[in-house]
């Protein structure tokens, strides 16, 4: 317990852990010891993990970094964590994140932002990215061996890129969403955040699989992803989408992308220029669909069933209770999303916004289907348009500035595809940069193997 406490305490400066769970960890570690002694040790036996605060863990605080879930301790366990614990993993604690996974910098968290362990020369605290920023910071700082993340529009891949770690968002339906606090249900997927591709392969296998408790989880066999890491990508066709050369992208990110392309070519892959013509509509479509689903999912926080309830004044009725509770419980970004979502779903605007965004989503998916049908095996792009920025740097910026971080990642969620971010270099400030590989549905094994060749 002392050693575990010490390890988790190291996280304090980074604010990566929102809740430490040394008692759970000690119990699970003891059980892992027994299994090791008995010779029946599963893949993750005794491996210390951090769990994003979005996952419900039985009997331990799970509050999506929101005040509105203050004091909420679920009576059940998410399927993903159930499976990780089944395979012997040890939970060190719950990891910081953006409130309800809405954000790209961890700054919307009710716990305050997590800090990137990487330092800029000028000594400014940097964002670890978001929303899985606590997960990324903890893995990068060796405060756990791996962590769970979730990705609705880039929340695994962008923080991985900002911290020099590896993160994969699997195909939509690969991991059960049961027990993961919902943000935008048609986009949300869980995935591992790890130090390297091999660890990601091992952890993803444990997290994946069909679950009758999630009607969108797929009944498709889960291969041994680790066994597929041969490093042989000869003859694989890698697409380079021209629409991802966005205006204002730093030259060093272009250079990194070119270097990644050359690495894959040197490993025997065939490089092909491709077009995904609807890419430029992805961000606007995402920022209609995700808030729409969020406004509906977050309607359940009413001050009655979960967490926080506002203090009421004499004469206050149920309406005042809802209003006060939600005004106090949700932070500004979450309130903004609820308002945008409610608006785009409202009778007068549904067709103009929500329905239009759904059509755009179908076109984005078709772009990908087409290039895969033409023989492309994976698509290589930058993971983010910049390296990690300073905490507070976007404080006075238009919220859309923050949304622009997701320009390379949201397409993948809209199309339900697997995407991985792999650390591939440093920028002129010595900060990590990542490249993204996008794969065919259900072919995470192949995708991991291509990423392995980039590592």
Judged by the rule CB under 6 A, the positions of this chain that interact with ligand GLN are 101-104, 131, 151-155, 183, 290, 406
CB proximity list for 51: less than 8 A, separation 6 or greater? 57, 81, 91, 93, 94, 95, 147, 148
Supply the minimum distance, in Å, between the C-beta of residue 175 and ligand GLN: 14
Active-site position among 131, 132, 208, 421: 131
Question: Which helix or strand (DSSP H or E) is residue 52 part of?
Answer: strand 48-52
Minimum distance from residue 439 beta carbon to ligand GLN (Å): 18
Least separation in angstroms between CB 182 and ligand GLN: 11
- Nearest CB to ligand GLN, comparing residues 399 and 425: 399
For ligand GLN, the closer of residues 102 and 376 by Cβ is 102
The answer, yes or no, to whether the previous bond of 131 is cis (omega within 30 of 0) is: yes
3-state secondary structure of 230: coil
**Whole-angstrom Cα distance, residue 415 to residue 419?**
11
If the CB atoms of residues 104 and 386 are measured against ligand GLN, the closer one turns out to be: 104
Smallest gap, in angstroms, from Cβ of residue 408 to ligand GLN?
A: 12
Let me know if 155 is a catalytic residue: yes
CA distance 156 to 150: 6
Is 386 part of the annotated catalytic residue set?
no
To which residue do tokens 């004091």 refer?
71
Alpha-helical regions (H) of 38-172: 79-86, 133-140, 157-163
Residue 52 among the catalytic residues: yes
Residue of 52, 94, 169, 236 with catalytic role: 52
Scored b (16 or more CB within 10 A) or e, 4-14 reads: beebbeebeeb
Active-site pick, 109, 132, 155, 387: 155
CB of 180 to ligand GLN, least distance (A): 11
In the complex, least distance from residue 413 CB atom to ligand GLN, rounded to whole angstroms: 7
Q: Which one, 57 or 131, has the nearer CB to ligand GLN?
A: 131
Strand 378-382 relative to strand 237-241, pairing? parallel
Phi, psi for residue 145 in degrees, rounded to 5: -85, -25
Q: CB-wise, 188 or 446, nearer to ligand GLN?
A: 188
Coil vs helix vs strand at 25? helix
**Cβ-based neighbours of 438, under 8 Å, separated by 6 or more:** 368, 378, 379, 381, 411, 412, 417, 418, 419, 447
Closer of 88 and 167 to ligand GLN (Cβ): 167
Q: What is the DSSP letter of 116?
A: -
* 370 token code pair: 């087409």
Pairing label, strands 270-274, 237-241: parallel
When CB distances to ligand GLN are compared, the closest residue is 155
If the CB atoms of residues 229 and 290 are measured against ligand GLN, the closer one turns out to be: 290
Q: Minimum Å distance from CB 216 to ligand GLN?
A: 17
Q: Could you give the C-alpha distances from 160 to 21, 344, 423, 436, in angstroms and in order?
A: 24, 31, 8, 10
What is the set of active-site residues?
Answer: 52, 131, 155
């Amino acid at each position: 317990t002392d050693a575990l406490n010490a390890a988790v305490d190291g996280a304090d400066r980074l604010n990566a852990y929102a809740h430490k769970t040394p008692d759970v960890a000690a119990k699970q570690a003891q059980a892992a010891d027994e299994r090791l002694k008995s010779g029946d040790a599963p893949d993750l036996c005794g491996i210390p993990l951090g769990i994003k605060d979005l996952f419900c863990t039985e009997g331990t605080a799970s509050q999506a970094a929101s005040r509105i879930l203050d004091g909420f301790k679920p009576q059940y366990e998410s399927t993903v964590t159930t499976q990780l614990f089944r395979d012997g993993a040890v939970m060190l604690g719950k990891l910081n994140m953006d409130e309800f996974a809405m954000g790209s910098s961890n700054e919307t968290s009710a716990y305050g932002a997590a800090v990137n362990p990487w330092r800029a020369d000028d000594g400014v605290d940097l964002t670890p990215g978001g929303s899985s920023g606590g997960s990324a910071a903890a893995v990068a700082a060796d405060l756990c061996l791996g962590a769970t993340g979730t990705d609705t529009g880039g929340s695994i891949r962008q923080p991985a890129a900002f911290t020099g770690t590896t993160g994969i968002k699997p195909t939509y339906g690969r991991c059960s969403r049961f027990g993961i606090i919902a943000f935008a249900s048609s986009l949300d997927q869980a995935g591992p955040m790890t130090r390297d591709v091999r660890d990601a392969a091992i952890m993803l296998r444990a997290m994946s699989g069909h679950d009758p408790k999630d009607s969108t989880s797929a009944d498709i066999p889960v291969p041994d992803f680790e066994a597929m890491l041969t490093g042989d990508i000869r003859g694989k066709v890698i697409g380079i989408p021209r629409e991802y050369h966005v205006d204002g992208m730093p030259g060093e990110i272009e250079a990194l992308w070119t270097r990644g392309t050359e690495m894959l070519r040197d490993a025997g892959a065939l490089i092909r220029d491709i077009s995904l013509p609807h890419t430029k509509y992805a961000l606007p479509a995402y920022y209609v669909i995700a808030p729409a689903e969020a406004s509906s999912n977050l309607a359940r926080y009413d001050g009655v069933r979960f967490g926080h309830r506002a203090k009421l004044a004499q004469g206050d009725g149920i309406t005042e209770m809802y209003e006060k509770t939600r005004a106090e419980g949700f932070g500004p970004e979450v309130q903004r999303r609820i308002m945008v979502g409610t608006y785009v779903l409202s009778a007068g605007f549904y067709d103009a916004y929500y329905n239009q965004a759904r059509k755009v989503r179908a076109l984005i998916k078709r772009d990908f289907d087409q290039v895969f049908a033409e023989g492309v095996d994976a698509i290589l792009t930058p993971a983010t348009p910049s390296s990690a920025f300073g905490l507070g740097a976007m404080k006075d910026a238009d919220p859309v500035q923050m949304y622009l971080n997701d320009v390379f990642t949201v397409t993948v969620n809209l199309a339900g595809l697997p995407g991985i971010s792999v650390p591939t270099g440093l920028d002129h400030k010595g900060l990590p940069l990542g490249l993204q590989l996008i794969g065919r549905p259900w072919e995470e094994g192949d995708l991991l193997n291509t990423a392995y060749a980039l590592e």
